[in-house]
Amino acid sequence: MRVLVTGASGFLGRAVAAEIAAAGHEVRTFQRRPSGVPGVTDLLGSVTVPAEARLAVAGMDAVVHLAAKVSLAGSPADFVAVNVGGTRSLLAEATDAGASRFVFVSSPSVAHAGASIVGSDADPADPARARGPYARTKAEAELLALAADSARLRVVAVRPHLVWGPGDTQLVARIVERARAGRLPLLGHGAALIDTTYIDNAASAIAAALEQADAVHGNSYVITNGEPRPVAELLAGMCRAAGVPAPAWRVPAGVARGAGALIEAAWAVRPGVDEPPMTRFLAEQLSTAHWFDQRRTRTELRWTPAVSLDEGFRRLAASYDR
C-alpha cells in the first residue's frame, strides 16, 4: 500500500511513518521539514497550500494525517488555517486522487469540557465545549473527517492521549526543564488518575487503524496504554528518568486555573517566546482525572500496547544515560 503520512517531522509523526514503513508499505511523508525517517520519501510543503497537498496525495492509496498546529497559545486564525483548513484540503485531494483510506489523528481534548473523564470511551467531538483553540479546531477537523467517510474513502479518527517517550521535546522535555528549574508544582493533591501513551504504542495503534480501516471506518478511538496512574506518580517517573527532582510543592487547582486565565489574557496582548507557563486547559489537565475505557479500541483495532509504562520509564531513563 502507498501511504502518505503528514507531519512526520514531529515526535509522533516520525514514529508513525517508521512503523508503517517497517510493515512493508511504501511511505511518502509531507511536512515543512525533512522527517529523518529511513526508507521513506520526503515531500516538503504545507497542508494549507492546496497545490502542495494535491501533489502530496497524488498516487497514494491511503493518508495518515498528523500535521497540525499544536500549542497552548497562538493566533486562533493560525489554528483554523492548519487544523481545519489543512484537513479539509487533504480530504478533498485524497478523494479526488482515489485514495481509499484516511486516518485522522485527533486528540481526546476534542471531547473534554473541563470535568474529570473517568472510564469514558470516545465521546463525540464537540467544538463548542472543547477548551482552547487547539482542541476546538481539532474537534472541527475530526467532524469534517468523519463526515467525509464513505464507501470510497474509509475514514477513521484516532485520539492518542498524552504521548511520551525518548526524544519527546514537548511533554517530557518541558516537565524536565521546569523540574530542573524548580518551577514544576503539583496541582491539588496530585492524585488525579491520568492515562498516557508510550510512543511505540501510539504509533502501532495508528498503524492498526490504517490496517483495519475497511472494518472500522466512520468511528473514533481513544488510544492509551490503559494504565492510569496518579499525576504525581507520572511526573515523578519522568523526573526520575531524567535525574531531576520530582515536584515537591503544591498549588491549589483553583488558584492554578485562575492564574492560567490571567496568563492567557496577558499572552494574547504580548505573547512570550515560548509556551505560556500555565493556561486554564493545562491546569485542568493536571488536576482532573482523565482515563479511558480501552476495550472497544483494542477489540476493534485488533491492537494491544506492547510497551508497559514501567518499561517506558526504563527506556526513557536509558535515553538520558547515553
The whole-angstrom separation of Cα 20 and Cα 1 is 10
Q: Report the pLDDT value the prediction gives residue 258, as an integer from 0 to 100.
A: 62
Q: Report the pLDDT value the prediction gives residue 257, as an integer from 0 to 100.
A: 59
pTM of the model: 0.92
Is the pLDDT at 271 greater than 80? The verdict is no
Nearest C-alpha neighbor of 117 from the set 293, 301, 294: 293
The whole-angstrom separation of Cα 3 and Cα 94 is 11
Is the pLDDT at 86 greater than 70? The verdict is yes
Specify whether the CB–CB gap between 98 and 151 falls below 8 A: no
**Which range (143-147, 223-227, 240-244) has the least confidence?**
240-244
The whole-angstrom separation of Cα 20 and Cα 247 is 38
Catalytic status, residue 134: yes
* E strand or H helix that includes residue 209: helix 199-211
Q: Report the pLDDT value the prediction gives residue 284, as an integer from 0 to 100.
A: 66
pLDDT band of residue 20 (cuts 50, 70, 90) is: very high
What is the average per-residue pLDDT within 153-162?
Answer: 97
Specify whether the CB–CB gap between 100 and 153 falls below 8 A: yes
Q: Report the pLDDT value the prediction gives residue 240, as an integer from 0 to 100.
A: 93
Is the pLDDT at 151 greater than 70? The verdict is yes
The catalytic position among 134, 198, 221, 320 is 134
| CB atoms near residue 150 (< 10 Å) | 11
Is the pLDDT at 260 greater than 60? The verdict is no
Q: Does domain 2-168+197-225+293-310 have CATH number 3.40.50.720?
A: yes
Instruction: Provide, rounded to the nearest whole percent, the portion of the chain with pLDDT above 90.
Output: 65
Torsion of CA 80, 141, 107, 22, to 10 degrees: -110
